[in-house]
Amino acid sequence: MGSPTHATEPPAAPPTGPASRRGAVLAILCAGMFLVLLDVTIVNVALPGIGRALGTGLPGLQGVVDGYAVAIAGLLLGGGALGDRVGHRRTTLTGFALFGLASLACGAAPGAGPLIAARVAQGAGAALLLPGSLALVTAHYPGRAEQARALGMWAGISSTALPAGPLLGGLLVDTIGWRWTFLLNAPIAAAAIGGVRALVREPRRARPGAAPDRAGM
């Protein structure tokens, strides 16, 4: 007979794939969060160049910054709820696609109005990416200890984007121009979409078919 301690231990969570595959999944999801946070700060050093190129003053530049942040804040909970309903893999793919396309629109914007609109679309894509990537990390690392390590890496690597933004933005502005602070996102998002499609599985939905809380959203 086994000891009482052994008898009451919960069974270990089953592995979700080879370690190398799960490591690649984690790297892809970290890249998504890195982009989300990078675009919070990378634009700051580009604002003088944007103002001169597009002929906009302080109100327009505030819209460029705030359009992104407000869209994330306003849509984040809705993005998580949508992932519960339709699947977090799907919302993460949609978030990457929307973020990448909106970044191209930002880089090609002919004026302040189109740039602000594209920044809002960027924020909407980020609001799908953030909760979706978190849900996918937890699904691929079900064990408590490995999940804690994976989430620590996800948060730690992603948070380096905040101080990296001004440094990278300054380098881009001084060399190839402010538009590349946005255009840089597009090829990374495209590569991440390919990686998600190839490697990431859809986790079990927490509330399949649940009706969205439209009033709350």
Domain boundaries, the chain: 17-199
Q: How far is CA 56 from CA 26, 61, 64, 65, 160, in A?
A: 40, 7, 10, 13, 31
Q: What is the pLDDT of residue 144?
A: 86
Tens digit of each residue's pLDDT, the chain (217 residues):
444 444 443 333 444 456 778 888 898 999 888 999 999 899 999 999 999 999 999 999 999 999 999 999 999 999 999 998 899 999 999 999 999 999 999 999 999 999 999 999 999 999 999 999 989 988 888 888 888 898 888 888 888 888 899 999 999 999 999 999 999 999 999 999 999 999 988 876 555 555 666 776 6
Please identify, in words, the CATH class of the domain defined by 17-199: mainly alpha
Which tokens in the block code for residue 41? 């700060």
Torsions phi, psi for 35 (to 5 deg) = -65, -40
List b or e across 139-152, with b for residues whose CB sees 16 or more CB atoms inside 10 angstroms.
bbbeeeebbeebee
Under 8 Å between Cβ of 114 and 158: no
Q: Give the C-alpha separation, 183 to 104, whole Å.
A: 5
Under 8 Å between Cβ of 54 and 106: no
Count other C-beta atoms under 10 Å from residue 85's C-beta: 17
Report pTM: 0.84
List the one residue out of 84, 45, 78, 26 whose CA is nearest residue 204: 84
